[in-house]
Amino acid sequence: SQAKYKERGTVLAEDQLAQMSQQLQTFRWHLESFASKHKQEIRRSPAFRLQFQDMCATIGVDPLASGKGFWAEMLGVGDFYYELGVQIIEVCLALKHRNGGLITLEELQQQVLKGRGKFAQDVSQDDLLRAIKKLKVLGSGFGIIPVGGTFLVQSVPAELNMDHTVVLQLAEKKGFVTVSEIRASLKWETERAKQVLDHLLKEGMAWLDSQAPAEPQFWLPALFSELHGHDGTP
């Protein structure tokens, strides 16, 4: 009786697995059909690209995992993101002297779009994040830091731990932070705050205003717009 119960359970599990496999195959067919039908829209429209990426993720397909095969040949999506990655690197290198290797996702998008020209494919912030994640595998120092409702893109291999990230988040609203603000908001000792700020200064990610009225202010050039002209130049 127990053996028959186990056998019946095994057969049921195999049937469910077979049904699931069939459903995945059907979904993959629909996905390929969608890709074929909307090839131009996927390449041209960030909204379509996002929809396509979400559909791929549902069945565990990564269209960017390889530059070969159906997805690259059918859509050219691999080439799109690899080329976008090169543009991201160029923008970050060009602005490194100003921001120390930190840039907001919004400014990165503006600079990339500016470099692509008005007749090029549009690029969304989601496109940028996907391209940056591919750059991370190169070990080139690229990373993404959540700050407020947006992200900072790190393009240098400086080691930033949780303390640095928390201070960046604290500076997000005003563009600068002081030792007193860190002590009051984070309940840190003075030495801990100074160590974090000194590291950001050393890496060129922060600028020191030692003539501020009350106490020295540590400005994060990636986080304040007053330094930028309307065309993105300092």
| CATH number for the domain that contains residue 200 | 1.10.10.10
pLDDT score, position 231:
44
> Which residues, 6 or more positions from 68, have their beta carbon under 8 angstroms from its beta carbon?
none
pTM over 0.85: no
End residue of a domain, out of 46, 75, 104: 75
Beta sheet of 102-104, edge-to-edge order = 102-104, 150-154, 143-147
**Domain residue limits at 179:** 158-229
The number of domains in the chain is 2
End residue of a domain, out of 47, 75, 103: 75
Residues 105 and 152 sit within 8 Å (Cβ to Cβ)? yes
Best CA proximity match to 121, nearest among 53, 49, 45: 45
The answer to whether residue 94 is domain-embedded is: no
Reduced to 3 states, what is the DSSP secondary structure of residue 209?
Answer: strand
Following CA atoms 185, 190, 195, 199 in sequence, which dihedral angle do they give, to the nearest 10 degrees?
50
The answer to whether residue 6 is domain-embedded is: yes
End residue of a domain, out of 43, 75, 107: 75
Residue 194 pLDDT exceeds 90: yes
Q: Which of 37-51, 52-66, 105-119 has the highest mean pLDDT?
A: 105-119
Q: Which of 1-5, 8-12, 19-23, 210-214 has the highest mean pLDDT?
A: 210-214
